[in-house]
Chains A and B, each alone.
Chain A
């Protein structure tokens, strides 16, 4: 058997040299730490002390614990609803920016809000939804309620509202770049061939923007389900998520191995969710079949 070494020309070699520092940085501070974490998840630890004994006990303990399942369900619930609302709320705006206006003002405004402080926006919702917050105090002054509405804050709903606010600009940007690939010619062609608005939307727009729609949904889902600061500040007892449990293991309890195992279980759940979403899009015939736009890079011969 003969091995053939890839031979690179001068330009490609300079490319590899230029990429090297970033690649090394990311391997040292991203790939290696992830590997350390994976190894830790099979070791034993207690109050910040780690013993290198190979064991599955962290995973078994996590999977055998009802509280863990509940927190996982909370995280998935919060992530899924955040992603649903973010995509649904942003889609019309992305549509407007892509097809109805030539000005970039709205896009810039959305970008601006995305980069306005993460923490400040969480704090803003705490001020608005809190027990003596804006909504409650206003309603009480108007005499519409006698006692503060307690469900407004420290609930999963409060976390979802906050996360939607946090992630909606991000979802919009991803949706927008997806819609920019769907040229108006295709829509007009569909209309000319007699497609109804609904048909051209489901049979043209969604399949062509498929990657962007699934991508924006999944990214929002993952980032929202993995966020732990909003559940910590707004979730109360009802809103404890796996992300929050992981952070507690690392910052307070000090059982890092257990925390690491939880993190990898959460990662598995994310991958499973991605598989589910992609499959259901395919079953719903909303994903692109081969006959759509033959210039897509995915259809190039490998």
Chain B
């Protein structure tokens, strides 16, 4: 009972501050403190009239789509490789794919900045996309790892024995089974990229991403337009996350249904 109360307090600690931010996004006065004077949508109107905000929103969407597609392609290949790799190579590969998220984003940011500068690559949304992929790919691989471990390799072998080419096997057997997991991983990557700012500050060019723009707003002032921008950003990234969660649930339902059928 005590433990249960504690768990509720813990959740309150996690969500309380976010609730406060959301509440004041709807405040009719510019004050970010109580007493609460009434509801208004004016901060949302203000932020949606800000062309820079809209441009940043667009840039972030482009980057997040590009990064999650790139992550999806590389990550799917990597996931297929996991059960096939020789033991030693697997250990090296696991270390390589996990290392980027075992370090603070700061390290990735400065290292990439040094590389791009060395190669004479101008900073643009491309460099941001590469940086984000470096950050989302390890998450993608870790998410699909356990699903791939339980993948029934005999299904692929059966397809091959029945005369399917490797590409056919992948398209007709492997992909349909792994699809929900891969989709979930990609939506997770989208959410992570959409929110990323620590690495971004080093590799961003003239075009802002949304979190980077919010960071610059935070440096300038404190007023409820930041709250409105935050609520919008958070809402979009949570929406993609919930969609990803739905895919995971779908996959689990299907797996359970199949198991029930077999029994």
Contacts and interface: CB of A to CB of B under 8 A. Distances in A.
Interface of B is mostly: helix
B48 interface: no
A120 interface: yes
B77 A96 contact: no
A284 interface: no
Interface in A4-37: 6, 8, 11-12, 14-19, 21-23, 25-27, 29-34, 36-37
A127 B78 contact: no
A107 B33 CA distance: 31
B183 to A, nearest CB: 16
Contacts of B107: 34, 226, 263, 267
B3 A23 contact: no
Contacts of A34: 107, 111
B104 A22 contact: no
Given A19-B81, A133-B32, A165-B13, A120 B234 contact: yes
B110 A117 contact: no
Main secondary structure of the interface of A (DSSP, over half): helix
A256 B222 contact: no
B110 A18 contact: no
A73 to B, nearest CB: 17
Interface stretch (A63-71, A185-193, A199-207, A243-251): A243-251
A216 B78 CA distance: 25
Interface in A216-241: 219, 222-223, 225-229, 233
Nearest to B24: A127
Interface in B71-104: 73-75, 77-78, 80-86, 88-89, 93, 96-97, 99-100, 102-104
B238 A223 contact: no
Contacts, number: 243
B106 A141 contact: no
A229 B222 contact: no
A247 B106 contact: yes
Q: How large is the interface on B (under 10, 10 to 19, 20 to 34, 35 or more residues)?
A: 35 or more
Given A16-B89, A128-B20, A250-B113, A22 B77 contact: yes
A127 B21 contact: yes
Contacts of B13: 89, 165, 168
Nearest to B79: A18
Contact of B86 (A12, A263, A267): A12
Contacts of A233: 218
A123 B202 CA distance: 20
Given A109-B14, A168-B14, A233-B218, A22 B115 contact: no
B32 A12 contact: no
A211 interface: no
A292 B214 CA distance: 51
Interface string B93-130: 10011011011111111111111001000000000001
21 contacts: A14-B166, A15-B83, A22-B74, A25-B137, A26-B96, A26-B137, A29-B133, A30-B134, A109-B11, A112-B241, A126-B218, A128-B20, A165-B17, A225-B104, A226-B106, A227-B106, A243-B106, A247-B201, A250-B113, A260-B110, A267-B103
Interface of B: 3-4, 6-7, 10-11, 13-15, 17-18, 20-21, 24, 32-35, 73-75, 77-78, 80-86, 88-89, 93, 96-97, 99-100, 102-115, 118, 130, 133-134, 137, 141, 166, 188, 191-192, 195-198, 201-202, 211, 214-215, 218, 222, 226-227, 230, 233-234, 237-238, 241, 245
Interface of A: 6, 8, 11-12, 14-19, 21-23, 25-27, 29-34, 36-37, 40, 89-90, 92-93, 95-96, 100, 106, 108-110, 112-113, 115-121, 123-128, 130, 132-134, 137-138, 141, 165, 168-169, 219, 222-223, 225-229, 233, 243, 246-247, 250-251, 256, 259-260, 263, 267
